[in-house]
A and B are shown apart, each in its own frame.
Chain A
Amino acid sequence: MMIDVEIILLIPAAAALLSAVSPKGRAASVSVIGSAAVLIASIPMCIRAFEGTVTEYGMWYVDGLSSLFILIIGMIGVMSAMYSRGYLLRDKEEGEIGTGDIRQYHIMFNLFLATMLSVCVVSSVGVMWIAIEMTTLVSAFLVGFYRRNSALEAAWKYLMICSVGITLGLVGITLVYASSSHILGDDPGALNWPILFEAASGLDPVLIKMAFVFIIIGFGTKMGLVPMHTWLPDAHSQSPTPISAMLSAALLNCALYAILRFQMIAEATVPGFASALMIGFGILSLAVAGAFILISKDIKRMLAYSSIEHMGIITIGFGIGTPLAVFGALFHIIAHSVTKSLVFFSAGNVIQGYGTRDMDSVRGLGKSMPGTAFMLGAGTLAIVGLPPFSVFVGEITILSGAIGAGMYHIALLIAAFIVLVFAGFTRNIFSMMRGEPSGKIKAPRGILRMLPMTVLFLITLFLGLFMPEQMSDALWSIADWFTGAV
């Protein structure tokens, strides 16, 4: 009996339980070990999937695409868990939270991990929807963790907007289900993605078009596509920093994952429709996020807008739909997750060191916290798409995909908005580096603060320069499969 999938879901669930009963101060370790265990446990299955062996039994379905997301979630989980420890301890020293809060945090953290993982492993799109809704419900507590007024406000908006979105997504799923009913009838597996995908070419095109509109609006809300993105800057800025990283680097990906699954179906039924919508939403997200980045004052809000921007780029990449563009988009997902968590973690250090999120009141970072400043600088350069970091490779691959597909106007728009983002981001971040530090600055210390950042920095640097053949093969096989080139 295969229990691969159950294991990776049960580990975080068990970790959640354990952190509920673990002795004082041990909850953090439980999270670190738990998430690391998830990552390790999922590796064999994922490698199998990359090599072409789909794990499919019971209600589970794990192929290459899911594996990519599982690995990202696992990795970001480990990093965030490590970073959380020091971050929360510091919060506790400041008196912002109590011991009980830390315990609650870790319970929710593990549950959050479990729900996100479950999005990527289930076979039925209905269950996938449930899992996505669960991520909202669990993470709402993490967003509202600080119980400050602003945090509550953010959590409330997050909860309401995402619930509305997800409801619309369910309408889309219903329509897909309806469109399949004349082929698949009352098959209890009619909502299973592989079955739907197989039957996709025979689905009703009118229904599928409408369904995809609902789906991209519904899941796009969760993913942060403009104009449904409105919850995102609030939630990212108010939640504890490791959670911001998780939201940005893992949660948005889950919603993206759902959209991708439906895009594949819709493309098989009505070629071109879903892609056009995705390109449209992607460009809009990129443009609007660029504008917001130019005017942001709050570092975490700016990073949140940057997530919107990158989700836009990724969406465009998938929308273009050539193998090269999809390859680029897949790579960009990894690059964005790694780099964005790096930036979030270093921003977290800055926030705790200076006690403010307002970028105008942070000066002299290079002098007061050289290590963090280095990581923040490198992360900034990486996230705005400069080599030798991974985001650069992702961006130019997507650009190349657009140009190769003859979509010069899309390439032009991407390039133009990237410049906007670039200008805003670098101006804000690098003005923090200069000048003289003023006031009392308590630079965060501890190996667990720097270790995840160092690891992420090395990963983004390595991926920016090199791509091992195995990884390239895996991504290409997904891209080829995704675009139906195989």
Chain B
Amino acid sequence: MFSVYEELFISLMFIPAAAGAIVGMIPIKCSGNVAAFLCGTSAFFGILSYPLYLYGGDIAFTFPLPSAWGPYSILIDELPAMMISLSSAVFLAVLAHMIFSVSVSAEGRYSSTICALFISCMLAMCADTVILLLIAWEAVTLSTFLMASGKNGAAAWKFLVIAHIGGLMVICAFLVMLSYSGDHTLSSWSDLGNAMGLPASCGAIALLFMGFGTKLGLIPFHVWIPDLYASAPTHTSALMSTVSSNAAVMILFKSIFGYIGVSEGMYVLAVILMAASSFTAVWSALESLVQTEPKRILAYSGMENMALVLLCFSIGILFSDGGSPGLMTVVLVAGLFHVMNHSVFKSLMILAVGSAEDCTGETAIEKMGGLAKIMPAFSLVALVAVLSMAAIPPFNGFASEWLMIQSMMGGEGIHMTEIILPLGVAVLGISGMMAAVSYARLYGFMFLGRPRSEKPVSSKVGTAVLVPMAALALLCFAMGIFCSQIMEKLARGVAAATSIPSDDSFVNHLSGTLNMPIMAGILLMAIFAAYVLSRAFRKKSARSPTWDCGTPLDENMQYSSMGFSQPLVRVFHPLYGDVVEISDDESSENRKRYSIKFAEPFVEHLYVPIGNLIMRGARRVGSTQNGNIQTYLGYILAVLVVLLVAVRFV
């Protein structure tokens, strides 16, 4: 409506980041921080997109220079506006953390790729033409790769290749859609499924699912995730698992439910997708239990959360068959809400873990412990993140998981879902609980107990980093408390982005029997009352060493994190493929050291054989180039004879 403001807003949102990307390339000392600051400016304006949307409606902009594939235009309507605002907030927090961390002096190149990531993620979320969407999406991959290729080149390469496979799947799906639509403008696409027919639309949906699944960690495309998280800089992982996941989910959602449009008859597809995402959820939760590095735990937990989001989407497809638009809206809102929540609590947790790693100089969970006493404020914000991740009321993780279960429970009785939905709930329950276990493990063994190594803990991250973290923690709380309002807004956005017929029945589910503010109020009051009442007794409290049966406790006499997850490992033993390795312990004679190795079965039984097969094939092909000119001429003769005969007889 205010076209001048639109242009002003768009330029304020993108030009500083673009400038930052260039400034970062200049090889002077402060260029990194300047670029990060510029990107922060952009992110700040990005936050304004939702308020602006509420104030002035859709924000549209078209770049004056056209591409080979039509113009570059962007359109920010309700859903993108929400996502952009939230992602920008997360981005800003991560940037602030980066700038405030005294241990990390932002490298120019790194900041410049962060700027590129900002631009590409935001463009991917609000792109309105196919080419912009595809370029932005691939640019997300590229900038993530550039941000990650620090320590472990192989991990970054693995990411790049798998993400590229995914990118090609996405590209193919969009090209199929384009071939039916013929129009480059995405906002004019709706219900292409009618024109495409069932097989093509199912194929396109499956491609999109897998394509974005590579970024979100859908099995078996997940193998890059743990390694990359473990080796990439903290801020890379924080942004990768939040902002780019937001973009992926957002585009996936718009493509499946908006552009293609689900229709009846997709039952089988929905069940397959549900199976894939459920499997991913349970599997990654299981794997997260046995990881020895905090970042790897977070990597698997990110996969688990994204798998739940994908589960929501596939249930959404299922509901389309049952003809229940209201429930479909609810389950889609649950998915979108969960990805938003995830981006907040996950970035918070990654930042907390990153800071903790900076302070201790350790990356193994076995070497940490007792940080809560040294860094109480950190441990408090980390606790908020853990509680959110474990879906504990009143934090935001609970709100979206609640809505997921709510929609599934509400969905029973719908055609053909009798057995599937209970299984979905079971998956949600078991993976959610397992995730909670692994967060308890993460928190318990990093922050609680006694230190497990004698290394001194330095507080070199400074206290300023607490500001963005506290902001994120507050956001976790606020998004939990105001979940009903957010859900309603999301439902409106879903209705606008898709052609799901509006059905008021979803309103009952959205906030029906959950009143978070009051429930949280009662909980807090009850806790407070318990505190006050028991304080009334005014008793002394003394400190003494932990009860130890009389022997002094050393740092090895604590439950170990691997031991903590042993019972579950034993229960789910057949799934883990763990191997006990026995080696001689050097330190003491005649002693054996037993250690458990957990191999990623998908690497071992899928990727390695396929890789070997491809390499063997390539070497065989390579042996045709044997250096002998006679052989070469023989090829020409052979192909000539074969083609001539073929032309003659075919």
Task: Give the B-binding residues of A (Cβ under 8 A).
Answer: 156-157, 160-161, 164-165, 168, 209-210, 213-214, 217, 221, 227-228, 230-231, 233, 277, 288, 290-292, 294-295, 331, 370, 381, 386-388, 392-393, 396-397, 399-400, 403-404, 408, 411-412, 415, 418-420, 422-423, 426-427, 430-431, 434, 465-469, 472
User: Which residues of chain B from 631 to 649 have a CB within 8 Å of any chain A CB?
Assistant: 631-633, 635-636, 638-640, 643-644, 647
**Among B134, B176, B644, contact of A396 (Cβ-Cβ < 8 Å):** B134
10 A-B pairs besides A217-B643, A404-B178 with CB distance below 8 A are A157-B632, A210-B647, A227-B624, A387-B138, A393-B131, A399-B172, A399-B175, A419-B164, A422-B161, A426-B157
B165 touches A230 (CB 8 A): no
Determine whether the beta carbon of B633 is less than 8 Å from that of A164: yes
A213 to B646, CA, bound (A): 10
Contact yes or no, B621 A160, CB < 8 A: no
Which chain A residue shows the least CB distance to B625? A230
Contact sample, A vs B, 19 pairs, CB 8 Å cutoff: A227-B624, A227-B635, A228-B636, A228-B639, A288-B624, A291-B618, A295-B622, A370-B27, A392-B138, A399-B172, A411-B175, A415-B172, A419-B168, A422-B161, A422-B164, A427-B157, A431-B153, A431-B157, A467-B68
Residues of B within 8 A of A397 (CB): 68-69
Residue B538 CB within 8 A of the other chain? no
- Asked if B135 and A387 sit within 8 Å, CB to CB, the answer is yes
- In the complex, what residues of A have CB within 8 A of residue B68's CB? 331, 393, 397, 467, 472
Question: In the assembly, what is the distance between CA of A420 and CA of B161, in Å?
Answer: 9
Q: Is the CB of A387 within 8 A of B633?
A: no
**Among the interface residues A164, A168, A469, which one has the most CB atoms of the partner chain B within 10 A?**
A164
Among residues of A, the one whose C-beta sits closest to the C-beta of B177 is: A403
Q: Which residues of B contact A415 (CB under 8 A)?
A: 168-169, 171-172
Q: Is A157 in contact with B640, judged by CB distance below 8 angstroms?
A: no
**Would B66 and A466 count as touching, CB distance under 8 A?**
yes
Is the pair B69, A294 in contact by a Cβ cutoff of 8 Å? no
Question: Is A168 within 8 A of B636, CB to CB?
Answer: yes
Chain A residues with CB under 8 Å of B169's CB are 415
A408 to B178, CA, bound (A): 14
Are the CB atoms of A393 and B168 closer together than 8 Å? no
Q: Is the CB of A165 within 8 A of B636?
A: yes
Determine if B1 is an interface residue (Cβ-Cβ < 8 Å).
Answer: no
B582 interface hit (Cβ, 8 Å):
no
Confirm or deny: B407 has a beta carbon within 8 angstroms of a beta carbon on chain A: no
The dominant DSSP class at the B interface is: helix
Could you mark each residue 166-198 of chain B with 1 if its beta carbon is under 8 Å from any beta carbon of chain A, else 0?
Answer: 001101100110110000000000000000000
What CA separation (Å) do A419 and B614 show in the bound complex?
Answer: 12
In the assembled complex, the Cα of A270 lies from the Cα of B68 at a distance in Å of 32
| B160: interface (CB < 8 Å) | yes
Name the residue of chain A whose CB is nearest to the CB of B615.
A294
Q: How far is the CA of A426 from the CA of B145 in the complex (A)?
A: 11
Contact pick for A213, options B69, B176, B640, CB 8 Å: B640
Shortest CB-to-CB span from B133 to chain A, Å, is 11
A160, A214, A430: most-surrounded residue (chain B CB, <10 A): A430
- Beyond A396-B134, A426-B161, whether A467 also contacts B67 by CB under 8 A is yes
B175 touches A396 (CB 8 A): yes
Contacts from B to A (Cβ < 8 Å): 27, 65-69, 131, 134-135, 138-139, 141-142, 149, 153, 156-157, 160-161, 164-165, 168-169, 171-172, 175-176, 178-179, 614-615, 617-619, 621-622, 624-625, 629, 631-633, 635-636, 638-640, 643-644, 647
**Shortest Cβ distance from A427 into B: residue:** B157
Identity of the chain B residue whose Cβ is nearest the Cβ of A161 in the assembled complex: B632
Contact: A292 with B622, CB < 8 Å? yes
Q: Which 8 A-B pairs have the closest CB atoms?
A: A291-B621, A230-B632, A291-B618, A387-B135, A467-B68, A227-B635, A294-B618, A404-B179
* CB <8 Å contact, A213 and B168: no
A426 and B179 form a contact (CB under 8 A)? no
* CA A426 to CA B156, docked complex, whole Å: 10
- Determine whether the beta carbon of A430 is less than 8 Å from that of B153: yes
- Our pick among B172, B617, B636 for the contact of A217 (Cβ within 8 Å) is B636
Q: Which chain B residue lies CB-closest to A230?
A: B632
Knowing A228-B635, A403-B176, say if A381 contacts B619 (CB, 8 Å): no
Query: CA A414 – CA B388 in complex, angstroms?
Result: 44
Check if A295 sits within 8 Å of B139, measured CB to CB: no
| Bound-state Cα–Cα, A272 to B179, Å | 22
Partner of A233, one of B172, B625, B629: B625
B624 / chain A contacts, CB cutoff of 8 Å: 227, 288
Q: Could you tell me the distance between the alpha carbons of A404 and B176 in the complex, rounded to whole angstroms?
A: 7
Complex Cα distance, B172 from A387, in Å, reads 15
Q: Kindly state the separation between the CA atoms of A387 and B136 in the bound complex, as whole angstroms.
A: 8
Separation in Å of the A411 CB from the closest CB of chain B? 6
Closest A residue to B633 using CB positions = A164
**From A231, A418, A434, residue with most partner B Cβ within 10 Å:** A434
Please indicate the chain A residues that have their CB under 8 angstroms from the CB of B135 in the complex: 387-388, 392, 465
List the A residue with the shortest CB-CB distance to B638: A227
Given A210-B644, A295-B615, A431-B153, A396-B171 contact (CB < 8 Å) = yes
A397 to chain B: closest residue by CB: B68
In this complex, what residue of A is CB-closest to B164? Answer: A422
In-complex Cβ contact of B67 among A164, A291, A465 (8 A): A465
Which residues of chain B are within 8 angstroms of A331 by Cβ–Cβ distance?
A: 68
Closest beta carbon of chain B to A236's beta carbon, Å: 13
Task: Report the Cα distance A434→B149, complex, angstroms.
Answer: 9
Q: CB-CB < 8 A to B160: which residues of A? A: 426
> Within the assembled complex, what's the spacing in Å between the Cα atoms of A231 and B614?
24
Give the residues in chain A near B149, CB-CB below 8 Å: 430, 434
Contacts of B179 in A (CB 8 A): 400, 403-404
Contact status of A393 and B629, CB under 8 A, knowing A291-B622, A292-B621: no
CB A197 to nearest CB in B, in angstroms, measures: 22
Tell me, in angstroms, the Cα distance from A397 to B157 when the chains sit together.
Answer: 26
CB distance from A119 to the nearest CB of B (A): 21
Q: Which residues of chain A are near B165, meaning CB under 8 Å?
A: 419
Known contacts A291-B622, A419-B164; A400 and B175 CB within 8 A of each other = yes
Q: Are A292 and B640 in contact (CB under 8 A)?
A: no
Q: Point out the residues of chain A lying under 8 angstroms from B66, CB to CB.
A: 466-467, 469, 472
Interchain nearest-CB distance for A474 vs B (Å): 12
Tell me which residues across on chain A come within 8 A of B633, comparing CB atoms: 160-161, 164
Which among A165, A387, A418 is the interface contact of B168 at CB below 8 angstroms? Answer: A418
The CA-CA distance from A323 to B431 in the complex, in Å, is 51
A161 touches B636 (CB 8 A): yes
Q: How far is the CA of A227 from the CA of B640 in the complex (A)?
A: 10
Asked if B647 and A213 make an inter-chain contact with CB atoms under 8 angstroms apart, the answer reads: yes
Q: State whether B175 touches A231 (Cβ < 8 A).
A: no
Measured CB to CB, the closest approach of chain A to B522, in angstroms, equals 53
Q: Is the CB of B161 within 8 A of A161?
A: no
Q: Which of A160, A404, A423 has the most CB of B within 10 A?
A: A423
Q: How far is the CA of A295 from the CA of B615 in the complex (A)?
A: 8
How many Å lie between the Cα of A233 and that of B625 in the bound state? 9
Residues of A within 8 A of B644 (CB): 210, 213
Alpha-carbon gap, A209 to B644, bound state (A)? 9
Residues of B within 8 A of A217 (CB): 636, 639-640, 643
Question: How far does the Cβ of B389 sit from chain A's closest Cβ, in whole Å?
Answer: 33
CB distance from B174 to the nearest CB of A (A): 9
Tell me if B640 and A168 are in contact (CB < 8 A). yes
Partner of B172, one of A210, A411, A430: A411
